Amino acid sequence: MTTGNAPMSALLFSLLLSIVLVADFPGSGLAITKDATLLYLKNLSIQQLASIEVTSVSKTEEKLSDADAAVYVITSEDIRRSGMTSIPEILRMVPGLQVSRIDGNNWAISARGFNAWFADKLLVLVDGRSVYTPLFSGVFWNIQDTLLDDIDRIEVIRGPGATLWGANAVNGVINIITKKAKKTKGGLLKGGGGNIEQGFGAVRYGGKIGTRGYYRAYAKYFNRGAFETKEGRSADDQWHMGRAGFRLDFDLSKESSLTLEGGICDGQTHDRLSPNYLLQVEQPHFQKLTTDYTGGDLLGRWTHRSGSGSSTTFKWYVDRTDWNSNYIKETRDTLDLDFQHSFKVFSRNSIVWGLEYRMYHDNIPRTSYFDFDPKSRINNMFSGFFQDQITIIPEKLDFTIGTKLEHNDFSGFEIQPSGRFRFKPTANQTLWAAISRAVRTPSRADHDMNVLVGSFRTGPVTNVLLYKGNDHFDSEEVVAYEAGYRVVPKKRFSLDISAFYNVYWGLRGLAPSSKASKANFTLPGRTRVIALVLKNQFHENSYGVEVAGTVQLARWWKTSLNYSWLKLRLHTSQQMVGQELDEGNVPENQFSIRSYMDLPWNLQFDTLFFYVDSLRDMNIPSYTRLDIRLGWNPAKDVSVDLKLQNLLDDRHPEYINVGPLVSSQVPRSVYGKVTWKF
């Protein structure tokens, strides 16, 4: 066969192949087509072989299909095609996660239940930097952001990940991983706006430093308008935020590399505070709350991979967050040092071990509502972990066992072991099962908080409700039993099923305090303080099933389907006061469909559909949400996006906050965006 004939024969061959494929499309004919491709390749010259296009599964996806845990990966493609503009909204795509908007700038996000404003059982890391705050235990989702184009992937692990990732990974871990600077060379400029996204813009530039280094730097800003009240009026929860950051990657040698990255942010959010939570007996009106956020972080990582298959990582970071409002103020500094080493022994043992030290320094000035005792604290956390993956039958059966030992100032030593096994009956199927224990360590608030949460009048006396922390508050713990099955029978189809049964002990609740105390608050004369103290009180079970599937309907049309089912059972005989663990606070059923279509004329038409079941105890009805994105590439480096969100209703509520924030409703919205790469 000569080179000149190649295109023609390729065309003929592809036609032939398409007939073969079509003829046995639902059957097991893949082997035939595979072999047909090989036979075709066999007759090519070396030059022709060099020009054959190959398609391969990426490293992460390969690992994903092998993972012995309930892992879901959001790729940069998913992020781009979702048209979502913030990290918390992107997480809606993950099966088994509950993502609810409380108001314009606050989210309640959790895995496998226990969702709240500060959902405390989900650990979140950005390039290995923990953004889980030990103040209330939880994540300030409104300050977790970066240039979304620079995110390589978001890995979400449902179920305990404490053995590897540390405390508070009780129900899951979210790893947000940014691209290497090498992958973001050149410039990017984008901007747009709409009714809620009132104006946003970003700029990024990256390039090479010398022969071995790469850099990028970015800045972005957005201004988001208010959501709506039940009646359709403005909920006054608008916000704006600016952010800038950089990343440097150096290859020190063939085996070792160095990364330095950092960022700063500054912004302001607006919310409404409920009069029930304020000391306003006389004037039961919403009060407007303005919060100023600033933050900065710097992270360094050195990685060495040696020829013998071992690798060593040393990582450090510093982080400062500061939020300031009339309601609560906090400044927090974090220092973290982390070392990890992995190696193989006797070819059948893959061992990973590590050591970590973290220090927090905070300062929480007294406000009319919050009084922390002491006002400022330095907390230390030490931990070490060890994990061994033992291969029993190569590429078929292995067993992983490990534990983390951690010491914190509040609850002392914590042991978080896990055991997992994985069986691969064939190359494209994985069966796994795991048992693990994890803890949610006490937060600063659990220990030291005094907060006034409301007042009511009886006769001439004003009664004030006070929530108190507890020096004896211990860790909440879970033992989780999980199992899963994953199959990728054909390139066009994949299915991932996982099921879990979790048992929790010592969950946080409130109990009447025997000691009368008004902390350090100055209260008017005829005031009676009713104090409630935090205690490890509840025992709870949860169980559920999560299913994720993808179907490539055609070369130009890809769909993903997710479904999750979740049940919680609370066991307690005690009187419950103000507890937030109601069984009816989670959507029992959730369902989503994503569709990506590549159309002619460089057009893309993408659809997202979500169904979220009702939250019974909050009186939130079930809702459906439909988003549409139309993308167009008029030139190679230019893309234009039109995104319509929430098309099915004028507005709907997603969450009623148990706490001072007044929830608002999510309205229909639209925005347009232009991106230019140079």
Partner 1 sequence: MRCLVLPAISVMAVIAFFSALTPIATAAITAKPDQVRAAFIYNLTNFVNWRDREFIQAGDCFTIQVLGNRTIARNLKLLTDNEKIWGRPFKIEYRDSPAQINNCHILYMDNSVTETISPDLIRELNESDILTIGDSSLFLEKGGIIALIEKNKRIQVVINLSAAKKTGFSFDAQLLKVARIFSPSKEQ
Residues that bind partner 1 (CB under 8 A): 7, 10, 13-15, 17-19, 21-22, 25, 34-35, 37-42, 44-47, 49-56, 212, 251, 254, 305, 307-309, 344, 347, 394, 427, 552-556
Nearer to partner 1, 51 or 290 (CB): 51
Residue 325 beta carbon to partner 1: minimum distance, rounded to whole angstroms: 48
Burial class of residue 579 (count of CB atoms within 10 Å of its CB; 0-12, 13-18, 19+): middle
* CA distance linking residue 298 with residue 330, whole number of Å: 20
Strand residue runs (E) in 346-375? 349-363, 370-372
Nearer to partner 1, 22 or 635 (CB): 22
Residue 254 beta carbon to partner 1: minimum distance, rounded to whole angstroms: 6
CB 352 within 8 A of CB 390: no
Residue 434 beta carbon to partner 1: minimum distance, rounded to whole angstroms: 24
The answer for residues whose C-beta is within 8 angstroms of residue 210's C-beta and 6 or more apart is none
- The single-letter code of the amino acid at 457 is R
Tokens of 668: 């229909």
CB 121 within 8 A of CB 108: no
CA separation (Å) from 677 to 27, 80, 179, 184, 638? 44, 14, 16, 10, 6
Nearer to partner 1, 18 or 195 (CB): 18
With vertex at residue 297, the alpha carbon angle to CA 294 and CA 301, rounded to the nearest 5 degrees, is 170
Nearer to partner 1, 63 or 288 (CB): 63
Residue 262 beta carbon to partner 1: minimum distance, rounded to whole angstroms: 24
Residue 32 beta carbon to partner 1: minimum distance, rounded to whole angstroms: 12
Residue 6 beta carbon to partner 1: minimum distance, rounded to whole angstroms: 9
Query: What secondary structure, in 3-state letters, does 240-299 show?
Result: EEEEEEEEEEEECCCCEEEEEEEEEEEEEEEEEECHHHCCCCCCCCCEEEEEEEEEEEEE
With vertex at residue 136, the alpha carbon angle to CA 135 and CA 138, rounded to the nearest 5 degrees, is 105
Nearer to partner 1, 232 or 309 (CB): 309
3-state DSSP call for residue 174? strand
Nearer to partner 1, 16 or 577 (CB): 16
Residue 411 beta carbon to partner 1: minimum distance, rounded to whole angstroms: 40
Burial 445-481 (b: 16+ CB within 10 A, else e): bbbbbbbbbbbeeeeeebebbbbbbbeebbbbbbebe
The answer for residues whose C-beta is within 8 angstroms of residue 341's C-beta and 6 or more apart is 310, 311, 312, 313, 352, 353, 354
3-state DSSP call for residue 20? helix
CA 414 to the chain's CA centroid: 24
Nearer to partner 1, 488 or 568 (CB): 488
Residue 189 beta carbon to partner 1: minimum distance, rounded to whole angstroms: 26
Residue 251 beta carbon to partner 1: minimum distance, rounded to whole angstroms: 6
Nearer to partner 1, 39 or 461 (CB): 39
Residue 57 beta carbon to partner 1: minimum distance, rounded to whole angstroms: 9
Nearer to partner 1, 14 or 376 (CB): 14
Residue 346 beta carbon to partner 1: minimum distance, rounded to whole angstroms: 11
Nearer to partner 1, 310 or 619 (CB): 310
* CA distance linking residue 533 with residue 449, whole number of Å: 10
Nearer to partner 1, 182 or 651 (CB): 182
Burial class of residue 320 (count of CB atoms within 10 Å of its CB; 0-12, 13-18, 19+): middle
Residue 297 beta carbon to partner 1: minimum distance, rounded to whole angstroms: 28
Residue 19 beta carbon to partner 1: minimum distance, rounded to whole angstroms: 8
* CA distance linking residue 281 with residue 296, whole number of Å: 39
With vertex at residue 540, the alpha carbon angle to CA 534 and CA 542, rounded to the nearest 5 degrees, is 135
Nearer to partner 1, 349 or 520 (CB): 349
Nearer to partner 1, 50 or 635 (CB): 50
Cis peptide bond prior to 374, omega within 30° of 0:
yes
